[in-house]
Amino acid sequence: MAFALNGFVMGMWIVHIPAIEHQVGITHAVLGWMLLFLGGGAFAGMQVCGALADRFGSRAIVLAGGALCSAMVVLPGLADSPWTLAAALLALGFGNGCLDVSMNTQAVQVERGYGRPVMSAFHAVFSVGGVIASLVGARTISWDWRPSATLAAVAVTGVLITFALVPGMLPPERSSPATNPSQTGAATKRRTPSQVWALGVLALLLMLCEGVANDWSVLHLKDVLDAPAATAALAYGGFATAMTVGRFLTDRVVGRFGRVFIVRYGAGLAALGLAAAALSPWIPLALLGWTLFGIGLSGCIPQFFTAAGNVDPESSGANVSRVAGLGYIGMLAGPAIIGPLTHLVPLNLAFFLPAAFCVTAAFSAGILRPARSESPQAKT
C-alpha cells in the first residue's frame, strides 16, 4: 500500500501538469527548469530520511514521509506564479524522497524476514499506483474539477491511508551484539562505502536509461520513423507495460537464479532491445525493441536496493538512500544527456550511449554478490 500510494500521489501530480502549467502561465522550457526543484527536493529528502530511518526505524519515517508527500501534493494545484510552483515542487519532492527511501528500507526488512525475494513486486505495485492515478485523473479532468480541488482530495485520502497502513509494518530490527565491536565497526567502515557507491553508480546508469525511455521513446517513433502520433504513443506504452509485468515476474527468477543473474542478463537484454529499436527501419520492430528494453530493465533496480540494504542492516536506510539518490539523479539526467547529443548525431544513434550503460551494468553485475563479511542474515 505504501508503494501504491507513492505511485498514485506522484501520478496525480503528473496527470495535472498541463493544467497547472496553464494555470501558472509558463512555457514548456520553464516547466523543465521547475522540475529540477522536484528532483532536488527528492534527493534531499532521501538523504535526510535515510539516516532517520536507521535511527528511528523505517516504519516511523514511512508515516512521516507518506503524510508529508500526500499533504504536499496539493501545493502545485494552488501555485499562481513560477516562484510558488518552484517552492511547491521542492516541498512535494522532499516528501516524495522521504517516502521513497523509507518504504524501500522497510521493504528490505520485510524481504529479509519473508524468506524469499519480494522487492520487485513492491516496485511493480508502485507502477500500478501510477496507472490508477491516470484513470482517476482522467475522470476528474473530464468532470472539469480544478487541479486544486482534485489534489486536495488526494492529499486527504493519502494522509488517511498512511495512518491506516503504518501499524501493519515491522518495527525496527534489534541488532545482535558483535563479538568485537571495534573490529566489526572498522571493517564496515572500510568496506561498506565502496560497495554501496558502486551499487549507486549502477543504479544511476540504469535509471538514466529508464529516463531515456520515459522522455524519448515516443519522439523516436514519431520523428525518426514517421509513425502517427497514436502509434508512437505505443512505444512508451509497451515499455511501461513490460516494466510492470516484468517486475511482478522477477522475484521468482531471483529466487531461483539470484540477483546477479537478473542484472547481468536483464541489462544485456535491455541493451539488445534498445539497439534493435535504434536501428530498426520498421515500426513494429522498433515497438518490440522498446518492449524488450522495458522487460530487461524491469527487475534490475530493485536488486540494487535489496543489495544496498543488506550490506549493513544497521545502516540500511542510509545505504538505500545513497543508491536511491544516485538513481534519481540518473533518471533526471537521461533527457539532459540525450538532448545535446542530438545536435551531433541522429536521435536513434544517440540511444547507443544508454545501450552502452546497459552493457556496463551487465558486466558489473557481480558487485551484487554479498561481501564475505556479511552476516548470514544479511546474505538472505
Q: What is the pLDDT of residues 58-102, one digit of tens each?
A: 999 999 999 999 999 999 999 999 999 999 999 999 999 999 999
Judge whether residue 185 has pLDDT over 60: no
Please, where are the H alpha helices in the chain? 2-15, 17-24, 28-56, 58-72, 74-78, 82-114, 119-142, 147-165, 181-219, 229-257, 259-279, 283-298, 300-311, 316-341, 347-350, 352-363, 376-379
Q: Would you state the pLDDT for residue 174?
A: 66
Provide the grid cell at 20: 497547472
Return mean pLDDT, the chain.
87
| Spatial separation of the C-alpha atoms in residues 21 and 41, rounded to whole Å | 19
| Spatial separation of the C-alpha atoms in residues 319 and 198, rounded to whole Å | 11
Report the candidate in 200, 201, 192 with the shortest Cα–Cα distance to residue 373. 192
Judge whether residue 139 has pLDDT over 70: yes
| Spatial separation of the C-alpha atoms in residues 78 and 72, rounded to whole Å | 11
CA-based torsion, 315, 319, 321, 324: positive or negative: negative
Give the confidence band of 193 by pLDDT, cuts at 50, 70, 90. Answer: low
**CA distance between the termini of the chain:** 24
| Spatial separation of the C-alpha atoms in residues 70 and 56, rounded to whole Å | 21
Calculate mean pLDDT across residues 158-171: 94
Provide the grid cell at 142: 473530464
CA distances from 333 to 170, 211, 321, 353 (A): 35, 8, 18, 13
**Which residues contact residue 19 at a Cβ distance below 8 angstroms, ignoring those fewer than 6 apart?**
141, 147
Report the candidate in 118, 113, 115 with the shortest Cα–Cα distance to residue 174. 113
Judge whether residue 200 has pLDDT over 70: yes
Q: Would you state the pLDDT for residue 175?
A: 54
Judge whether residue 12 has pLDDT over 60: yes
pLDDT digit string, tens, across residues 284-298 = 999 999 999 999 999
Q: Would you state the pLDDT for residue 335?
A: 67
Report the candidate in 109, 6, 114 with the shortest Cα–Cα distance to residue 58. 109
Please state whether 258 falls in left (phi above 0), alpha (psi between -120 and 50) or beta: left
pLDDT digit string, tens, across residues 115-129 = 889 999 999 999 899
Q: Which range in 10-19, 127-136, 157-166 is most confidently predicted, on average pLDDT?
A: 157-166
More confident residue, 334 or 171: 171
Using the 8-state DSSP alphabet, how is residue 380 labeled?
-
Judge whether residue 190 has pLDDT over 80: no
pLDDT digit string, tens, across residues 334-352 = 767 887 888 888 888 989 9
CA distances from 91 to 7, 42, 83, 86, 128 (A): 17, 9, 13, 9, 24
Q: Would you state the pLDDT for residue 276?
A: 95
Q: Which range in 170-174, 237-241, 320-324 is most confidently predicted, on average pLDDT?
A: 320-324
Judge whether residue 39 has pLDDT over 90: no
Give the confidence band of 379 by pLDDT, cuts at 50, 70, 90. Answer: very low
Coil/strand/helix, residue 357: helix
DSSP for 303-349 reads HHHHHHHHH-GGGHHHHHHHHHHHHHHHHHHHHHHHHHHTTTS-HHH
| Spatial separation of the C-alpha atoms in residues 196 and 374, rounded to whole Å | 13
Judge whether residue 142 has pLDDT over 90: no
- Residue found by looking up cell 536506510 in the block: 317
Report the candidate in 299, 300, 298, 323 with the shortest Cα–Cα distance to residue 310. 323
Q: Would you state the pLDDT for residue 173?
A: 75
Please state the pTM of the whole predicted model: 0.84
pLDDT digit string, tens, across residues 44-59 = 999 999 999 999 999 9
Judge whether residue 172 has pLDDT over 50: yes
